[in-house]
Amino acid sequence: MAKFSKTVALAGCVLLTACGSSPEEEEQQKIDYASYDDAALEKLAADGEYQQALDIIKGQVELEIADSKDFLIESDIYLTLLDGVAAEVSLEKAREAGAPEEEISLRLARAYLLQQKATEAKETLEKAEFEGEERYQAMLLRGDIAQEEQDLEGARSYFQHAVEENPEDFRGHLGLALLALNQGQLAEAERYASHAATLVDDDPIIRYVRGSVARYQGRIEDAKEHLQKAVELHNANLLAYFELISLFIESGDTEQAQKQLDAVYALTPNSPMAQYYSALMLAIEGKPQEAEYLLLRTGDFTRAFPPAARVYGHVAFALGKYSTAQPYLERFLNRVPSDRVTRLALAECLTRRGQSKKALKVLEPLIGEGSQDLEGLLQAAAAHGSTGQVADARKYIEQAQAVAQSGDVQDQELIGLIGQRLALTQFISGDNEGAISQLRSLYADDEADVESLSLLANIQMESGDLAGAEETANRILALEPESAVGRNFIGALRFRERNTAAAIEEYTTALNSKPDYQSALKNRALAYLATQQFDLAKADLLKLENAGVEDAQVHAMLGRVYLELGEGREAANSLKRAEAIIPESAIIATDLAEAMALSGFRSSAITQANKAKKLAVRDPNLVQYLEDLIVTWQKLEAEEKIQAQADKEKQREELAKKRAEMEKARKALIEEGRAESPDEKKEEGADEEEPKSEEDDPPQN
């Protein structure tokens, strides 16, 4: 069970009491802020009218009548709303307004803890001295701090000490309940919470704990009862709201989930947690871009709260932003290794980013001997295939095909996809006839199988059977006359035939039918590049890049286009992105070296070119090209140094010449009597009377 760290600030926190829901909004009218004394503000807070209380305090600040007590009330409201940053600001204002440290310390420690600043919270408590009730609260808060620092034994010790000191106070038992809940010890959490419930009238946090336990144990109706009672008892019980939202999302009741979210937004419009749940609902609805926008607004929350990291990772994955998704998926999988969906997504991210060995390591729990995990086996095949280990890739695909054909899998589309992958590995391993036979058998089973026909056309084209590829492409067009796929294939064939103009025409037809068809955009950009139509190539490649495509070939082509256009810095940026995906590419490394040189960073270009040489060891022509570049750049570097030294020497000579001319002119003026010599000036200065200081004046009578 994922730990929500903000719960640790609750065990020692005395919640503001809520007395039912707030009344309906009345017509706005001018408020006499000065008429609200501390007692009136405290009552508003106790009644759950948080925003009204905050507005009045703001009004009093503007009237310059707010005092330290107002800021303390403000901080209590923010602590209730789990906004540690705002609470800290309010407490700083209270301190400036003269609030005594004993009224600030506990609150400030809670504010720090809500921000996950456990060290600062601990230091704040250590600097203060507490007595009576405040000492007891500080003890509970120290337990919360220990829990935040993952010192679970220390936390348990503090809470047990609180229980021993005052066994009739429910808060020590509640601290132990929250500790058990955050560790996933559900039976223990229920036992402590149930005992705490016998020591106090209905308490919202006890209800929250019991509702959470019931939810995780699958007792949905009990969970609803406890959690709804928790928000009824305290209408700002955000943790209970969030548990309810999770519960309704999991049960598919998005209407009720949204209702709870609306209540949270009414209390705290910028709540990162509420935004996370809104993003989760958008992701479930298949709206990853909208979900990403909301998650980005939460700032560091996606890093601090593991479930938010999971959602952001999957959203970025759905958008094809694999480098962004990877660290978030890794972070969550480290916490919850049993999350199969996250494991599969992470493996695919790694494979797509050229980290296939790492991907296979991630997949190990899913692909062991006798594995029946179809997706895991296919991911393993893809990872092996990306490193050129065709035999291993084929082994996993055959294993997946056996699982699919065992009768457990009824998805014929998936079975067809596995057959296509098997054909592809056969082709890569040199078994062209086997690959074509496999694809023809798939086509025979389903004459409308455009996917298999597309792969067949690719294999025929790559194996040099251009006539067969064209025949297959025409079959696709016969099935789907407006098919962008078919037109794209015909364009690729024309390009192979070196009829670039006809190829561009076919690609354009495909794009007229499907403007965002990435393969056609990339192919047309390549044709434009081949015909030196660099601006047109750039336009197509930028469409792909702006769509978030993480394709090394796209970045590399765009880098080459920028090079041809003389835009060195832009070229370097694109080529660095390509190199990050395929660091072993000698061509990309070479282009990046040229981009660096074009940008004026010749020394870095030489270093990059030497790196490219190591990668190009099997290509003697490229190695020679790089050596020539290095010699040229080194020569230019040396010439520039010599020229720079010569320029400096020339500047020194010119400066010395100017000084000599000025000295000559000055001497001429002296000889003509139009200027004084330095000696004459010194003599004149010696005759002048020194000015008197005030100390030399005679005393006044």
Only one residue has tokens 């056609």, namely: 520
Mean per-residue pLDDT, 610-628: 91
157 membership: H or E segment, kind and range: helix 152-165
Cβ neighbours of residue 495 closer than 8 Å, sequence gap 6 or more: 503, 523, 526, 527, 530
Cβ neighbours of residue 144 closer than 8 Å, sequence gap 6 or more: 8, 9, 10, 11, 12, 113, 155, 175
Q: Looking at the domain assignment, is residue 142 inside a domain?
A: yes
**What pLDDT, on the 0 to 100 scale, is given for residue 416?**
53
**What pLDDT, on the 0 to 100 scale, is given for residue 441?**
53
Report which of 549, 631, 563, 628 is spatially closest to residue 591, judged by C-alpha positions: 563
**What pLDDT, on the 0 to 100 scale, is given for residue 10?**
36
Phi, psi of 622 (to 5 degrees): -70, -40
Distances (CA, A) of 58 to 34, 62, 87, 337: 11, 6, 14, 47
> For the segment 171-198, what is each residue's pLDDT rounded down to a tens digit?
999 999 988 887 778 888 899 999 999 9
**What pLDDT, on the 0 to 100 scale, is given for residue 304?**
65
| Structure tokens given for 510 | 């495909």
Q: Looking at the domain assignment, is residue 269 inside a domain?
A: no
**What pLDDT, on the 0 to 100 scale, is given for residue 51?**
86
| Domain span at 59 | 5-21+33-200
Distances (CA, A) of 569 to 544, 554, 566, 573: 20, 17, 9, 6
Rg (CA), the chain: 37
- The residue that leads in pLDDT, 478 or 10, is 478
**Poorest-confidence range of 51-65, 295-309, 483-497?**
295-309
**What pLDDT, on the 0 to 100 scale, is given for residue 27?**
38
Residue by residue, DSSP assigns 504-531 as: HHHHHHHHHH-TT-HHHHHHHHHHHHHT
Cβ–Cβ under 8 Å, residues 73 and 38: yes
Q: Looking at the domain assignment, is residue 135 inside a domain?
A: yes
CA distance 520 to 487: 9
> For the segment 79-98, what is each residue's pLDDT rounded down to a tens digit?
888 788 889 999 999 999 89
Q: What are all long-range contacts of 541-545, with beta carbons under 8 Å and residues at least 24 apart? A: 543/516, 544/518, 545/574
**Poorest-confidence range of 8-17, 80-89, 102-111, 426-435?**
8-17
Please say if the pLDDT value at position 400 is more than 80. no
Q: Looking at the domain assignment, is residue 311 inside a domain?
A: no
**Count of CB atoms within 10 A of residue 366's CB?**
19
**What pLDDT, on the 0 to 100 scale, is given for residue 650?**
85
**What pLDDT, on the 0 to 100 scale, is given for residue 66?**
87
CA distance 64 to 599: 57
Cβ neighbours of residue 688 closer than 8 Å, sequence gap 6 or more: none
Phi, psi of 291 (to 5 degrees): -65, -45
Distances (CA, A) of 412 to 62, 415, 417, 434, 496: 69, 5, 9, 21, 34
**What pLDDT, on the 0 to 100 scale, is given for residue 510?**
93
**What pLDDT, on the 0 to 100 scale, is given for residue 690?**
47
- Output the average pLDDT for the chain: 81
CA distance 457 to 452: 9
Please say if the pLDDT value at position 145 is more than 70. yes
Q: Looking at the domain assignment, is residue 10 inside a domain?
A: yes
Cβ–Cβ under 8 Å, residues 457 and 496: no
Cβ–Cβ under 8 Å, residues 541 and 534: no
Largest Cα–Cα distance in the chain? 127
Distances (CA, A) of 369 to 19, 343, 399, 402: 60, 18, 10, 14
**Poorest-confidence range of 68-82, 543-557, 588-602, 670-684?**
670-684
Report which of 497, 498, 517, 341 is spatially closest to residue 507, judged by C-alpha positions: 517
Cα 381 from chain centre: 28
**Count of CB atoms within 10 A of residue 502's CB?**
16
**What pLDDT, on the 0 to 100 scale, is given for residue 45?**
82
Cβ neighbours of residue 405 closer than 8 Å, sequence gap 6 or more: 415
State which of 39-48, 317-326, 445-454, 572-581 shows the largest mean pLDDT. Answer: 572-581
Only one residue has tokens 């220990």, namely: 146
| Structure tokens given for 444 | 């025979």
* Angle separating helix axes 170-182 and 186-197, nearest 10 degrees: 160
Overall domain count for the chain: 1
State which of 39-43, 55-59, 566-570 shows the largest mean pLDDT. Answer: 566-570
Residue by residue, DSSP assigns 362-375 as: HHGGGSSTT---HH
Burial of 389 from C-beta contacts in 10 A (0-12 / 13-18 / 19+): middle
Side chain identity, residue 658: K
Model confidence, pTM = 0.48
Cβ–Cβ under 8 Å, residues 106 and 75: no
> For the segment 483-516, what is each residue's pLDDT rounded down to a tens digit?
888 899 899 999 988 999 999 999 999 999 999 8
Cβ–Cβ under 8 Å, residues 81 and 238: yes
**What pLDDT, on the 0 to 100 scale, is given for residue 248?**
87
CATH number of the CATH domain containing 37 = 1.25.40.10
* Angle separating helix axes 38-46 and 68-80, nearest 10 degrees: 10
**What pLDDT, on the 0 to 100 scale, is given for residue 649?**
84
CA distance 495 to 519: 14
Cβ–Cβ under 8 Å, residues 484 and 510: yes
Q: Looking at the domain assignment, is residue 339 inside a domain?
A: no
CA distance 64 to 700: 52
Cβ–Cβ under 8 Å, residues 605 and 593: yes
**What pLDDT, on the 0 to 100 scale, is given for residue 436?**
54
| Structure tokens given for 603 | 């020394």
Per-residue 3-state assignment (H helix, E strand, C coil) for 389-421? CHHHHHHHHHHHHHHHCCCCCCCHHHHHHHHHH
Mean per-residue pLDDT, 553-580: 93
SS3 22: coil
- Considering Cα of 380, then 386, then 389, then 393, what sign does the dihedral take? positive
Q: What percent of the chain has pLDDT over 90?
A: 26
Distances (CA, A) of 324 to 318, 348, 549: 11, 13, 12
Please say if the pLDDT value at position 280 is more than 70. yes
Instruction: Kindly state the DSSP code that residue 565 receives in the 8-state scheme.
Output: T
Residue by residue, DSSP assigns 487-502 as: HHHHHHHHHHTT-HHH
Confidence of residue 677 (pLDDT cuts 50, 70, 90): low
SS3 282: helix
> For the segment 327-358, what is each residue's pLDDT rounded down to a tens digit?
989 988 887 788 888 899 999 888 888 788 89
**Count of CB atoms within 10 A of residue 371's CB?**
17
Cβ–Cβ under 8 Å, residues 80 and 236: yes
Mean per-residue pLDDT, 58-86: 88
Buried-exposed string 464-473: b where 16+ CB fall within 10 A, e elsewhere: ebeebbbebb
Mean per-residue pLDDT, 286-295: 82
Please say if the pLDDT value at position 452 is more than 90. no
Q: Looking at the domain assignment, is residue 692 inside a domain?
A: no
Cβ–Cβ under 8 Å, residues 454 and 476: yes
Q: Looking at the domain assignment, is residue 701 inside a domain?
A: no
Please say if the pLDDT value at position 425 is more than 80. no
96 membership: H or E segment, kind and range: helix 84-96
